[in-house]
Structure formats: structure tokens, C-alpha cells
Chain A
Amino acid sequence: MIVDLLVIPLIKILIIIGIILTTVIMLVYAERRISAFIQGRYGPNRVGPFGLFQAVADVLKLILKEDVVPKAASKFFHSLAPIISLTVALVTLAVVPFGSRIFIFGKEIDLMVAPGVNIGVLYILAMSSLGVYGITLSGWASNNKYSLLGGLRSTAQMISYEISMGLAIIGVIMMTGSLQLDEIVKMQEGWKWNFIFQPIGFITFVIAAFAETNRLPFDLPEAEAELVGGFHTEYSGLKFGMFFLAEYANMITASALITTLYLGGYRLPFIEYFGFSQNTLAIIHVVTFFVKISLIMFFMIWVRWTLPRFRYDQLMNIGWKVMIPLGLLNIFITGIGLIIF
């Protein structure tokens, strides 16, 4: 009983946090390398083979740096903010299924930190909206006008895009009839991935996910040209590292969500017909899931180095006048479809 309740989830949590941290490191490297390729440069290629250890060197540098706290800053909230950001970014992945079940030592283990949570989608929405607090607090506690503006922008942006995100998800939930992410994945068996049935919802969700993660077409909270560094202007050393980590962990979460909700989760079409054993199947599922996630993350990086930043009024216009009506339209169409079929 104790093994089931404590040890197995703990091991899963440790494994997943380890995976996230290594992925973040690889992601930082990938981002720098891909951006360099797009701009006709080589990017970091000195540290280790192909510069693979560049991100490790970056992390070491961040750890060794002095942690400066501004004199006028509120010390407690100044250090609380990055913790909130990071925690929220990591915690969201708890309900995302990485694969089907696996049998180890006669035990059936779901490849998911919290299996059978029947409010999965709700939990994700709640947690991702908590992320705003970290950014707002950091802006407020720094006692710096740029940080404050960055925090404010981010609050406005995240709140407005959360609505369209929720509306997009409702379409998926209507089709599945369950808030459980497991069920949503099981529903998308074979080729029946959700983005085929709900292209509008898919596009809205992807755009909202970009906005939620503060990635480039929507990176107003940290618009370098106007706001120095945005909400993390006054952060340095490990605290800045935590924000950095949170940003990339958010990226992983967002791509995991896109995969789970719209791209068939861990499922590879028609793999069931080959008659693999359950454990092999589970491994194939996990690999599929990570390949899908990495493709989406590549897409995110690719978009970042292609598009310029939106103006603030454009951002709000798209959020409220385009995205939300599209989300409602998607719900409407899905409803009609459900009645007809």
C-alpha cells in the first residue's frame, strides 16, 4: 500500500523532473543553435562535441553569479516570485500521460505522475493561470518601472489568452465527454487525432499556448527593446536561472498539452496491429510522445525566429476580437457536429 501510494509516485516525480531538466538544457542549446542556423551563423559549437555542453556551461555560470537584490525591492516577494513560476511550470505536467501502462515486478504502472485524476484539464487550466502570479509578483516586488510594466503586460496577456485557451479546450472535452487526459488520449485512437476534427480549435489553442508561454510573437512581458528585460530585469544569478528554467519548462508543458489534446498524445497510428507486448508498446508510446513534443518545440523555436513581436494593441485585439469569437465558433461547430454524427 505504501509502495503504491508513496514510493512509485515519488520515483515517477523524480524521473519526470530529471527528464524536464535535461530537456530544458537541450532546449536551450537547440534554441541557440536553430536561431543561429536561421540567421546564417553556426551558434555555440565549441563546448563539447557540436557544442552540446554549452547549456551546461551556461548553467554553471548562472550558479556562480552574484545574486543581486535591489535595495528598494521587497526581499520576500522578490525571492518568492521565481519559486512560484518554476513550481507552477513543473507541477502542470503531473496529469499529462507519457505513455500507456507498463508492467514492472508484477505491478501495473501508469506512465503518468497522477493517474486517474478526473479533473485533469481543469487542473492544468488552474495551474497555468497561477503562473501569472509569479510574473506579476516579480514585477511588483522589484520596485522597477520596467519590471512593473512587464508584469502588468504579462498579466493582461495571460488572462485574455487563457479564455481562448479554455474555449478551445471545451471543444475537445465536448467530443470526449471527460476531463481526464487519459480518456482524451484513448479517444484519439488510430488516425482519429483531434486536430483533424477541430482545426479551428487546434489553431486557437496553439496560438493561445504561444501567448501563455510568452514565446516570441507574444513576448511582450519581456520585450527587450522597450522594457530592458521585462519582469526579470532586476533578477540575476540563480533566481534569473529559475525564471529561465520556468520559461522553458512552460514550453515543454505547452507542447505536451498540444500533443495530448490534439495530436493523439502518446499514440502512434496503427501500432496496435503489429502485436507487440505491453511493455514494448509502452516504450514505443513514450518515444512517440517525446518525438511529438520535440517536433512541437522545434516549431515553437522556428516561429520565434521568424515572426516579429506584436504591438500591445494588436495583441489585445487578436486576443479579444479574434481568438474568443473563434473559440465560441469552434464550440458551436462541434456541437452541431456532435448532433449530426
Chain B
Amino acid sequence: MSLRKIKPLNFWEKIYLPEIFKGLVITFKEMFKPKFTRQYPEEKWNPPASFRGRPVLVLEENGVERCVACGLCARVCPALAIEVQASETELEKERYPVKFEINMLRCIYCGFCEEACPEEAIVMSQEYEETFYNYEDAIYGKDKLLIPAEKLKTRLEFLRKMR
């Protein structure tokens, strides 16, 4: 590492006013440059496919969820946010969740449930705006969790690519 010698100031630098003027010119130019701020509620951010938003259940085109209620997601969840109750069904998959609840106050968006899922049934979505006024609203049931597969296409494709 070399030492940088500090140059002695010349006359104009000592007067200080020309340097102030240079600084003023810079800030004046800065005023007309495009802004960095995003006008948030009107202008939303589109997260990339690798983004881990709120976990959702994939709904197939025939209106049945992919989930077979194996309970692996609930098992792996470090924050104990997922609760699954299984039941039998006439369909080919034989089991389905009667109750599937994620407590969004507990969820830490780690994505372990997605990794553990053998059926690619629980997936981290692109949604990042979670607001609620009381604790009851924060527990998302099947009504809020089920999302059609085509809406989750980007994430599903991303997962296929990475696996």
C-alpha cells in the first residue's frame, strides 16, 4: 500500500468560494436527473422468479389442489407456521388436505416448505404485500392459499430449472 501525499491547497482552493461554486453546480445538475424513488402504491415492484413471497398452494386446471397432505411442509417448517389436516378422497391422489392453514405472523419466508414438498404443491409466490388488522386475519386458510397454476408459472418454471 502506498501512502497518498496530501497536496498543499493552492490559492483558489484556500479561498474556498470557487470550490463551493463547483459543489453548487453539481447539486444543481442533480436536481434535474431522474429520480431513484419508486412511487410505490401506484407503481409496484415486480419481483424476479427467485423471489420468495408468501407461500401458496398450487391449484390444478381441473380445480383440485396438488397437495396430498403428507405433512412434510408442516414438519420442516422452522417457525411452526403450517397446520395440515388430511382426509381421503375418491380421486387418484387418494388424500387431500381438509384444512391447510399458514399463520402469516409466524412465517419467515424461508422456503423450506417448498423445498420439502414432493408434489411441487406448495410454492413461494411473487406476492409481498401482507397486511392484516387482527390476528385472525393473519391465519390464511385454503381460500386464500389456493392459487391457479398458470399464475405461478414463473416460479414453477424457475423451480424446474434449478432442480
For B20, what are the chain A residues with a Cβ–Cβ distance below 8 Å? 303, 306-307
Contacts A302-B24, A303-B24 given: A38-B37 contact, CB under 8 Å?
no
| Residue in A38, A41, A203 whose CB lies within 8 Å of B27 | A38
Let me know if B36 is at the binding interface, CB within 8 A: yes
Contacts A303-B24, A306-B23, A307-B20 given: A38-B36 contact, CB under 8 Å?
no
- Whether A37 pairs with B37 at a CB distance below 8 angstroms is no
- Whether A302 pairs with B28 at a CB distance below 8 angstroms is yes
Let me know if B17 is at the binding interface, CB within 8 A: yes
Per-residue CB proximity of B28-56 to A under 8 Å, as 1/0?
Answer: 10111101110100000000000000000
Let me know if A49 is at the binding interface, CB within 8 A: no
Task: Please name the residue on chain B nearest to A305 by beta carbon.
Answer: B27
CA–CA, A38 and B32, complex, Å: 8
| Residue in A39, A42, A305, A307 whose CB lies within 8 Å of B39 | A42
Count B interface residues, CB 8 Å: 15
| Residue in B23, B32, B35 whose CB lies within 8 Å of A41 | B35
CA–CA, A37 and B31, complex, Å: 5
For A42, what are the chain B residues with a Cβ–Cβ distance below 8 Å? 35, 37, 39
Per-residue CB proximity of A37-52 to B under 8 Å, as 1/0?
Answer: 1111110000000000
For B27, what are the chain A residues with a Cβ–Cβ distance below 8 Å? 38, 302, 305-306
Let me know if A34 is at the binding interface, CB within 8 A: yes
CB distance from B127 to the nearest CB of A (A): 24
CB distance from A302 to the nearest CB of B (A): 6
CB distance from B67 to the nearest CB of A (A): 42
CB distance from B125 to the nearest CB of A (A): 29
| CB-CB contacts below 8 Å: B120-159 with A | none
CA–CA, A170 and B36, complex, Å: 48
CB distance from B75 to the nearest CB of A (A): 46
CB distance from A220 to the nearest CB of B (A): 18
For A306, what are the chain B residues with a Cβ–Cβ distance below 8 Å? 20, 23-24, 26-27
CA–CA, A42 and B33, complex, Å: 11
CA–CA, A34 and B31, complex, Å: 8
For A307, what are the chain B residues with a Cβ–Cβ distance below 8 Å? 20, 23
CB distance from A36 to the nearest CB of B (A): 8
CB distance from A202 to the nearest CB of B (A): 12
For A203, what are the chain B residues with a Cβ–Cβ distance below 8 Å? 17
- Whether A40 pairs with B24 at a CB distance below 8 angstroms is no
Contacts A305-B27, A306-B24 given: A40-B35 contact, CB under 8 Å?
yes
CA–CA, A123 and B154, complex, Å: 73
CA–CA, A222 and B122, complex, Å: 55
CA–CA, A40 and B33, complex, Å: 7
- Whether A38 pairs with B35 at a CB distance below 8 angstroms is no
- Whether B17 pairs with A41 at a CB distance below 8 angstroms is no
Task: Please name the residue on chain A nearest to B24 by beta carbon.
Answer: A306
Task: Please name the residue on chain A nearest to B39 by beta carbon.
Answer: A42
CA–CA, A41 and B20, complex, Å: 23
CA–CA, A37 and B20, complex, Å: 19
CA–CA, A303 and B31, complex, Å: 13
- Whether B30 pairs with A40 at a CB distance below 8 angstroms is yes
**B31, B33, B39: which has the most chain A beta carbons within 10 Å?**
B31
For A305, what are the chain B residues with a Cβ–Cβ distance below 8 Å? 27
CB distance from A317 to the nearest CB of B (A): 12
- Whether A38 pairs with B17 at a CB distance below 8 angstroms is no
CB distance from B43 to the nearest CB of A (A): 11
CA–CA, A39 and B36, complex, Å: 9
For B32, what are the chain A residues with a Cβ–Cβ distance below 8 Å? 37
Of the A-B pairs whose beta carbons lie under 8 Å apart in the complex, a sample of 12, sorted by A's number, is: A37-B30, A37-B31, A37-B35, A38-B30, A39-B30, A40-B33, A40-B36, A42-B39, A302-B27, A306-B24, A306-B27, A307-B23
Chain B positions near chain A (C-beta within 8 angstroms) = 17, 20, 23-24, 26-28, 30-33, 35-37, 39
Rank and list the top 5 A-B pairs by shortest CB-CB distance, nearest first. Answer: A37-B31, A306-B27, A40-B36, A38-B27, A306-B23
* Further 17 A-B residue pairs, CB within 8 A, beyond A40-B33, A302-B27: A34-B31, A37-B31, A37-B32, A37-B35, A38-B31, A39-B30, A40-B35, A41-B36, A41-B37, A42-B35, A42-B37, A302-B24, A302-B28, A303-B24, A305-B27, A306-B23, A306-B27
Chain A positions near chain B (C-beta within 8 angstroms) = 34, 37-42, 203, 302-303, 305-307
